[in-house]
Amino acid sequence: MSVSSDYLEHEFKQPSLWQRLGWFDWLWALLAVAGSIYAHVHYAAFMDNYEIGILYGTALTLIWLGWSWKPVRQLSLVICLLSLFAIGLYGEDLARGDTSFFLKYLVSSQSAIMWMSALYVMATFAYFFGMFARSEFSSRVGSALTWSATAMGLTGLMVRWRESYLISHDVGHIPVSNLYEVFILFAVITALMYLYYEGRYRNRQLGGFVLTVISAAVAFLLWYAFARGAHEIQPLVPALQSYWMKLHVPTNFIGYGGFALAAMVAVAYLLVERRPAGWLAGRLPSLEQMDDVMYKAIALGFAFFTVATVLGAMWAAEAWGGYWSWDPKETWALIVWLNYAAWLHLRLTKGWRGRPLAWWSVVGLFITLFAFLGVNMFLSGLHSYGTL
C-alpha cells in the first residue's frame, strides 16, 4: 500500500513556492541583492558590522515580501527610481533643492512628503465616495491614490536620508529619529497594511475608514511642520547614534500600524453592528469578516510590538545602562502591550467576539496614541527625543 501511496502522493503534488516563481520574481531578487552589494561597497565606511547585517537582512526581507506579496516589487522599484532621480539631481549640493524644478516641486523630501499628504487625503475622499455612491471606479481611484501616496511618502524618507548626509556627514542619519519622521512612517506602514488586506480580501469598502486615521496623521504632520518647523533635519544626540534605531523604530511602527488598522475596522464594525439592516451594512464587508480582520491586525501588531519592545530594552541596556528603567516611554509601551495581551486573551481563551472587543480596540488606539505622542508631549524622561 505504501508504495502506491507514494505514487499517489506524487500524482497529487503541487508546484512548490520555488517552482511557482516567475522571471520577474528572480529579477526582483537579483535587483535587491545587487542593490545591497552596491550600497555595501560604496557606503561601508558609514556602517558598522551590525548595520551591514541590517542592510543584507533588509534585502532578504524585501525579496521575501516581494515574492509573497507581488505588488511590493513594483512599488519598491518606483520608489527606487524616484529616489535615485532625486539623489542624482542633488549631486553633492543641497542648495539644488531650491533651484532644480523637479526637486522643488516633486522629489525633494519636503515636496514628496507634501505630495504624500495631498494624495492620502484625496484617497480618503475617493474611497468614501466610492462607498456611498457604490462606485467601483471611485474606489479603484482610491486604491491608486493610496499606492501613489505610499510611494511618495517612502521616496520622501529615502531622499530625506540622503539630504541629511548632504547637510554634513556627521549629521546624516536614517530618518526615523523624531516625531515628524516617524509620523510619515506611521502613515505609510498603516497604508501598506490596509493595501495588503485590500488585495487579499478583494474589497475596498474599508478604505475610507482606514485612510481617515492616516489623514489625521497627515494633518498633524502638516501642523507640526508649518507651526513648529519640525521638518528641519536635526543632528542626532549621541544616545540615538546606534544601529538599534534602524531596528527598534520601524518595528514599533508596524505594531502601531496594526493597532490603528484594527481600531478603524472596529469603528466600521460598530457602525454596521448598530444598524444591521442599515444602508451602511450593505456597503461594508460582513461583520464576521471585519471581526476577523480586526483580530489579524491586532495579532500582527502585538507580535511586532513585542519584538519592538524587546529591541528597545536591549538598546536601553546599551545606551542607558539598564534594560528596564521604568522610564515613561518604556512603561507606556508595557501598558499598550498588556492592554492588547488582555484583548487577545478575551478573544482566544474566553471566545469573546464582536462589539466589546471592537470598542476595546478603539480605546486601545487611544492608549497607543498616548504612548507614542502623549508621552513626548506631557511626560518627561530619558526618552524625550522629538518632544513637541
Partner 1 sequence: MNLAITLLVVIAIASVIGTVLQQNEPYTNYVRKFGPFWFEVFKSLGLFDIYGATWFLILLGFLLVSTSVCVWRNTPHILRDMRHFRTDVQEKSLRSFHLKAEWETGHNGDEAAARSAALLAARGYRVRQAAQGEHRTVAAMKGAVGRLGYILSHVSIVVICLGGLIDGNLPLKLQEMRGELRAETRDLPASEVPAESTLGTDNLSFRGSISIPEGASSNVVFLQLRDGYLVQELPFGIELEQFRVEHYPTGMPKSFESDLIIHDDELPEPLRQTIRVNHPLIYKGYAIYQSSFGDGGSGLDMRAWSLDLPHQEPLALKSNVNRFLRLTTTRGERTLEFTDFKLYNIFPVEEGDTSGKKFRNYGPSFVFRLRNPAGEAMEYVNYMTPVEVEGRQFFMSGMRATPSEEYRYLYIPADAAGTPQRFMTLLAAAHDETRVRRTVEQQLAGMMGGDAASKEVRSTMIDSISRLLALFVEQGIDGIIKHAEANVPAEQRQEAINSYVNVLQGVLGALYVDMLRDEGVDVAQGVSDADSQFFDDALNTLSMLGAYGSPFYLQLSAFEHIEASGLQIARSPGKDIVYLGCAMLMVGVFMMFYMHQRRVWVYVMPRDGGADMLFAGSGLRNRMDFEREFRALQAELEKAVPPAGAATN
Rule CB under 8 A: which residues touch partner 1? 1, 4-5, 8-9, 11-14, 170-171, 229, 232, 234-235, 237-239, 241-242, 244, 288-289, 292, 296, 299-300, 302-303, 306-307, 310, 313-314, 317-324, 326, 328, 331-332, 334-335, 338-339, 341-342, 345-346, 348-350, 375, 379-380
Which of ligand HEM, partner 1, none sits in contact with 39, Cβ below 5 to 8 A by type?
none
Choice between 107 and 300, CB closer to ligand HEM: 300
C-alpha 259/C-alpha 301 separation (Å) is 6
Binding at 11: pick from ligand HEM, partner 1, none (beta carbon under 5-8 Å per type)? partner 1
Q: Which does 234 bind (CB under 5 to 8 A by kind): ligand HEM, partner 1, none?
A: partner 1
Would you say 222 or 299 has its CB closer to ligand HEM? Answer: 299
| Cα dihedral 79→84→90→94 (10° resolution) | 50
Comparing CB distances to ligand HEM, the nearer of 237 and 341 is 341
Minimum distance from residue 298 beta carbon to ligand HEM (Å): 10
Q: Please write down the HEC assignment for all residues of 310-374.
A: HHHHHHHHHHCCCCCCCCHHHHHHHHHHHHHHHHHHHHHCCCCCCHHHHHHHHHHHHHHHHHHHH
Cell, residue 228: 513648529
Least Å distance, CB 107 to partner 1, is: 22
Closer to partner 1 by Cβ: residue 13 or 42: 13
CA distances from 172 to 12, 91, 157, 248, 350 (A): 55, 15, 13, 18, 50
- The site partner of 15 among ligand HEM, partner 1, none (C-beta below 5 to 8 Å per kind) is none
Cβ-closest position to ligand HEM: 341
Instruction: Considering the complex, state which of residue 274 and residue 345 has its C-beta at the smaller distance from ligand HEM.
Output: 345
314 binds, among partner 1, ligand HEM, none (CB under 5 to 8 A by kind): partner 1
**CA atoms 73, 112, 193, 385: torsion sign:** positive
Q: Which of 215, 263, 239, 229 is nearest to 321 (CA)?
A: 239
64-78 per-residue burial string, b: 16 or more CB within 10 A, e: under 16: ebbbeeeebbebbeb
Q: How far is the CB of 343 from ligand HEM (least distance, A)?
A: 9
Q: How far is the CB of 342 from ligand HEM (least distance, A)?
A: 8
Residues near ligand HEM (CB under 6 A)? 341, 344-345, 348-349
> With helix as H, strand as E and coil as C, how does 190-224 read?
HHHHHHHHHHHHCCCCCHHHHHHHHHHHHHHHHHH
